Amino acid sequence: MKEKDFRDDLPLITACEHCGAVLTGIAWNVGQYAPGQWFGIGIVKCEPCSWVRVAAAGSTEIAHAYARSVRLKFIGSLNS
């Protein structure tokens, strides 16, 4: 898979898990896990309630698992 194809599949809209507001403008950071495999971490803040959502995505199961681990490390670093 090419990076552009992976980016094109990433969601651009989600819902706030706290207040239900529609969230747009997800900031996706994409990296290469292995040749042809991509992972992404998406961050978006809900303006009405200030809730922050951090999402993980991968082009394969293993890349998605890696993205989830990166997300957990990121969230852990915020709580330290």
**pLDDT tens digits, 34-61:** 999 999 999 999 999 999 999 999 999 9
Judge: domain 3-79, CATH 1.10.3720.10: no
Quote the pTM value: 0.87
Domain ranges of the chain: 3-79
Q: Is the pLDDT of residue 68 over 90?
A: yes
User: Is the Cα torsion angle 32, 78, 9, 60 positive or negative in sign?
Assistant: positive
At 44, the amino acid letter reads: V
Can you give the pLDDT at residue 78? Answer: 83
Instruction: Output the CA–CA distances (angstroms, integers) from residue 59 to 30, 32, 35, 71, 79, in the order listed.
Output: 11, 10, 11, 16, 28
